[in-house]
Amino acid sequence: MPPARKKPRTFDPARIRTAVTAQFAHVGEAVGELGPEQLARPSGLGDWTVADLAAHIAWIADSLAAGLARPPAAVAELAAVEWPFATASLAGKISEAARETLAGAPLPELYERAGARMAEALAANPDARVLDLWVGDMTLADFLVTRTVELVVHTDDLNRAAGLDVPIERQALAACTRLLADALALKAPGGAVEVRIPPFAVVQCVEGPRHTRGTPPNVVETDPLTWIRLATGRTDWAGALDGARVSASGERADLSALLPLMS
């Protein structure tokens, strides 16, 4: 008998709004201090430099404002937990749009403009507003949860590439971790494996015998940033195991065939 469908996780829209705004501000403050040598470094993301990565993060805010400026869609087609699987085919289109939108402007100017546009747009729109998006029409509340993923993942990319220590908002990190954990459970439904990402998430996944009490026979545990890197292809499963950043016990606890969820 298949496992019962779980009620989708809910996120506090007010906290998510605050987290997105704060995380963008953290990145903007740090980017304004980057020197030419740091900006020219490879980002680790294809042929992007750190400057390209920083400009893309500005576009995350700018494109949110642009989406809210368009006429609303009628009905949401996509839930936040489905978003990670809908982005792969759009990577090139998104990258090109970002380059066209932001080309030529100094980074501090980009961040000031994008931050102001995003703040104004968020203040003028309710959480239930449905955005007309390339990836699929989504409510503003759900789309903002996906913005925590983009901002946390790229803040981590920026920190590693430029040698920075940009802080990551706890609420943004929690939402990003939970959304990607729920996406794993959606991709591989079941109850044979328990994935623990303290202190933010515990999900069950993978078909097979379910446990009802005591310690599950198949357990995976890791920290939030390692999980996010695994889910987005920044770290591979074997490397995380070898580096003791993941513990996996039980014959079904190998998630390598399920990862990354998005890249």
Ordered per-residue pLDDT tens for the chain, 263 residues? 334 446 789 999 999 999 999 999 999 999 999 999 999 999 999 999 999 999 999 999 999 999 999 999 999 999 999 999 998 777 777 777 666 666 668 899 999 999 999 999 999 999 999 999 999 999 999 999 999 999 999 999 999 999 999 999 999 999 999 999 999 999 999 999 999 999 999 999 999 877 666 678 899 999 999 999 999 999 999 999 999 999 999 999 999 999 999 97
* CATH number of the domain where residue 238 is located: 3.30.1050.40
Whether residues 223 and 135 share a domain: the answer is: no
Neighbour order of strands in the sheet with 201-205: 201-205, 193-197, 219-222, 246-249
195 falls within a domain: yes
Cα 172 to Cα 174: distance, rounded to the nearest angstrom: 5
Residue after which a domain boundary falls, among 172, 201, 229: 172
Whether residues 193 and 164 share a domain: the answer is: no
Radius of gyration of the chain (CA): 19
7 falls within a domain: no
Residues 6+ apart with CB under 8 A from 73: 130, 131, 132, 137
User: Structural domain of residue 194, as residue ranges?
Assistant: 188-258
How many domains, in total, are found in the chain?
2
Cα 105 to Cα 239: distance, rounded to the nearest angstrom: 39
Whether residues 83 and 213 share a domain: the answer is: no
Helix (H, G, I), strand (E, B) or coil at 188: coil
Model pLDDT, residue 3: 40
Cα 53 to Cα 195: distance, rounded to the nearest angstrom: 31
Six token digits for residue 133: 């998006």
Whether residues 83 and 212 share a domain: the answer is: no
Six token digits for residue 93: 């289109």
Whether residues 131 and 238 share a domain: the answer is: no
What digits encode the pLDDT tens for the residues 152-192?
Answer: 999 999 999 999 999 999 999 999 999 999 999 999 999 99
What digits encode the pLDDT tens for the residues 105-114?
Answer: 889 999 999 9
The model carries a pTM of 0.94
Cα 140 to Cα 51: distance, rounded to the nearest angstrom: 28
Contact 234, 176 (CB under 8 A): no
Whether residues 145 and 205 share a domain: the answer is: no
Whether residues 168 and 228 share a domain: the answer is: no
Cα 144 to Cα 67: distance, rounded to the nearest angstrom: 12
